[in-house]
Chain A
Amino acid sequence: MDIRADAWYADLSESQQWQLYAISRRTRNWAEVVQAARDNFKLEGEVSRSSFYRWRDKMRQADAEQRRLAVVAAQAEAASLARENGISDEAAINALKALAIDAAMSDNSSEALKWANAAMAIKDRQQKDAELKLKSARQKTADDQLKLAREKFEAAERRENAAKGAIADAKLSDAERMAKLREIYGI
């Protein structure tokens, strides 16, 4: 910001000016803001009402510009956070960007908190989803093993019944019985 050497705020740092501007957004009383500058930043000299409002208008325009830049930065931050946490779902990334933009545009610190909390919530949710998938895969393996064991048992039972039938069949000769048993057991 270009500042005239004789401007009433010429001795205030940029950070002090922004602090003063924040105060000016909370009150409509310009004299109160000037008093805050005298108390906190040792402002001396007279401040006219018109020069105060000219400064305030300039600060408002700079504020609009800063917020616009903050919106771009917030989106990049959200995208980077999503990448770091392995969030690849487009809707989730956009939702994070939306919160980050709202936080950048707002004076309210709870917006920023909301955005940080949402990022954590999405991360937790993804971890839980991954755990559920792993658990479901483990369960499927256990089910498959059980199914295989049951099939083996049933096949053995079928062979045993067939063998019992062959042994009990009086019509078969010993040679025929042996041939039948070999066939049943695949020997």
Chain B
Amino acid sequence: MDAQDKHVIKTALESLRAAGGTGLKKAALLSQIDLAAGAPTTNEQRESAFALLKDRGWITFYMEPIWHDQRWTLTERGLTALEGM
């Protein structure tokens, strides 16, 4: 992961930390990844960053019971990773 990738991932994790237990929709998270990258990103690049967050166990999702939306939140591992960045 180069410095720019790290910055993007860190911004995504920080956004999730800000959203707390309520979390973010995947689209909002991808949009944060895109904005943090500075230059416009492709769908593949955004999905690849998202997959990295998911595969490392840094994020998890739950179904919001009232609106029935899938929302992503930071895991303990994600928080630890963020604190180490």
Interface residues of A, Cβ cutoff 8 Å to B: 53, 57-58, 60-61, 63-65, 67-69, 71-72, 75, 91-92, 94-95, 97-99, 101-102, 105-106
In the complex, chain B residues whose CB is within 8 Å of the CB of A53: 39
User: How big is the B interface, by class?
Assistant: 20 to 34
- Most A CB atoms within 10 A — which of B15, B32, B35, B36? B35
- A75-B11 CB under 8 A given contacts A61-B35, A98-B64: no
Contact check, A94 vs B22: say whether CB atoms are below 8 A apart.
yes
* Interchain Cβ contacts within 8 Å, total number: 71
Contact check, A64 vs B24: say whether CB atoms are below 8 A apart.
no
Closest beta carbon of chain B to A120's beta carbon, Å: 15
Contact check, A71 vs B38: say whether CB atoms are below 8 A apart.
no
- A57-B32 CB under 8 A given contacts A71-B19, A94-B64, A95-B64: no
Interface residues of B, Cβ cutoff 8 Å to A: 11, 14-15, 18-25, 28, 31-32, 34-39, 64-67, 69, 71
